[in-house]
Amino acid sequence: MHSTGATAVSEPVAGDHMRSQARAAPWSRLGPLAWICVWVGIWWAVVASANVSPDFLPSPWQVAQRIVWLAQSGNRIGEGTLWEHAAWSVLRFLSGFVLALVVGVPLGLLMGRSRVVGDLVDPVFNTLRNVPPIAWAPFGLLWFGASFGSQMFVIFTAAFPPILMNSHRGIRLVDEGLIKAARMLGAKPAAVLFQVALPAALPMVVAGARIGVANGWLALVGAEIIAGPGALTGLGFLVLVGQQNLQADFSISAMVVIGLLGAAFDYAVVRLERALSKH
């Protein structure tokens, strides 16, 4: 009798759950592109209904027109068109991010496998990782000058911490049986680290790289504006031009391209993460 009562109570709950799923279904079917269209529509409605000045907030159509204008070869702002500025920003980002990978992954692996290295690096890293990346911009200018190097340095400081931390955590989670088996077969320490431990820790490393991509890309505009004064290239430069000339469409156009490129980088890392998880 007791079990029958439990079943009777659970059925309405299951039915309510199914009905709630059915009610939520129309919204859940909307993909990311559809939601972007919804938000663009809200933006457009706000600008049109409130008669907002384009100098304060341009409409989506005005921003799209400005993007097309900036992309045309005859309309050069600073030292290039929109695509040339985007290419410079991508180059700066990739330089800082790849440097963070090259330094962060091996160092994180060594910290996980060597107590001496971990004890040596961990206190300094845990202190410095709490410093905002943009706070390193003055030191970038001091050490590298107003150059590509100072901008790359700021991006590096943003992307480096999550890559190092996830590499360290990933290597600590590797099954010790794999390590012992490799050693019993005569593998040298370097081979154990990079041919056995690293592949096993790769999902965590890629997850850290994804966070590093987001952090590095977010630091890009600050790096281009603060760590590279006088530079006439980059999407950050276009944001600055719009701010100085009180042309919101300039700044928002550059921001749209920054967002799209950032989403593309994130999508690429997600695809890599999913591909690795299948193996």
Q: Mind listing the pLDDT tens digit for each residue in 231-273?
A: 778 888 888 888 888 888 888 898 999 999 999 998 888 888 7
* Tokens found for residue 105: 């992954």
Percent of the chain at pLDDT exceeding 90 = 19
Average pLDDT (182-205) is 78
Question: The domain that contains 104 carries what CATH number?
Answer: 1.10.3720.10
The pLDDT of residue 22 is 47
Residue pLDDT, tens place only, 144-155: 877 788 889 999
The pLDDT of residue 18 is 47
Residues 32 and 169 in one domain: no
Q: Tell me, what DSSP letter sits at residue 59?
A: -
Residues 218 and 245 in one domain: yes
Average pLDDT (175-179) is 75
The pLDDT of residue 14 is 46
The pLDDT of residue 117 is 84
pLDDT bracket for residue 229 (50, 70, 90):
low
Residues 10 and 146 in one domain: no
HSE (side-chain half, CA atoms, 13 Å) at 141: 15
Q: Which of 11, 28, 55 is the last residue of a domain?
A: 55
What total number of domains does the chain contain? 2
Query: Is 92 domain-assigned?
Result: yes
Residues 256 and 190 in one domain: yes
Residues 272 and 180 in one domain: yes
Query: Is 47 domain-assigned?
Result: yes
Is 228 a residue whose pLDDT tops 70? Answer: no
* Tokens found for residue 196: 């056995």
pLDDT bracket for residue 36 (50, 70, 90):
confident
Is 3 a residue whose pLDDT tops 90? Answer: no
Residue pLDDT, tens place only, 37-95: 888 888 888 878 888 777 788 888 888 888 888 888 777 787 788 889 999 999 999 99
Name which residue leads in pLDDT, 229 or 133: 133
Identify the three-state secondary structure at position 80.
strand
The pLDDT of residue 99 is 95
Is 101 a residue whose pLDDT tops 60? Answer: yes
Query: Is 63 domain-assigned?
Result: no
Is 24 a residue whose pLDDT tops 70? Answer: no
Alpha helices in 72-197 (DSSP H): 82-113, 115-128, 137-144, 148-172, 176-184, 189-191
Query: Is 102 domain-assigned?
Result: yes
Question: What range does the domain containing 6 cover?
Answer: 2-55
Query: Is 80 domain-assigned?
Result: yes
How far apart are alpha carbons 215 and 157 in whole angstroms?
9
Query: Is 61 domain-assigned?
Result: no
How far apart are alpha carbons 126 and 122 in whole angstroms?
6
* Tokens found for residue 268: 């690429």
How far apart are alpha carbons 34 and 76 in whole angstroms?
33
Helix, strand, coil share of the chain (percent; to 5): 80, 0, 20
Residues 135 and 163 in one domain: yes
Residues 148 and 34 in one domain: no
Average pLDDT (184-189) is 76
The pLDDT of residue 70 is 85
**Which pTM was predicted?**
0.78
Residues 40 and 117 in one domain: no
How far apart are alpha carbons 224 and 247 in whole angstroms?
19
Asked if residue 229 lies in contact with residue 207, where contact means CB atoms within 8 angstroms, the answer is no
Query: Is 64 domain-assigned?
Result: no
The pLDDT of residue 26 is 55
pLDDT bracket for residue 19 (50, 70, 90):
low
Query: Is 96 domain-assigned?
Result: yes
Identify the three-state secondary structure at position 77.
strand
Asked if residue 226 lies in contact with residue 151, where contact means CB atoms within 8 angstroms, the answer is no
Q: What is the mean pLDDT of the chain?
A: 80
Residues 75 and 49 in one domain: no
Average pLDDT (90-118) is 89
Residues 88 and 26 in one domain: no
Backbone angles phi, psi at 30, to 5 degrees: -70, 125
The pLDDT of residue 100 is 95
Residue 110: which of 210, 189, 20 has the closest Cα? 189
Residues 179 and 77 in one domain: yes
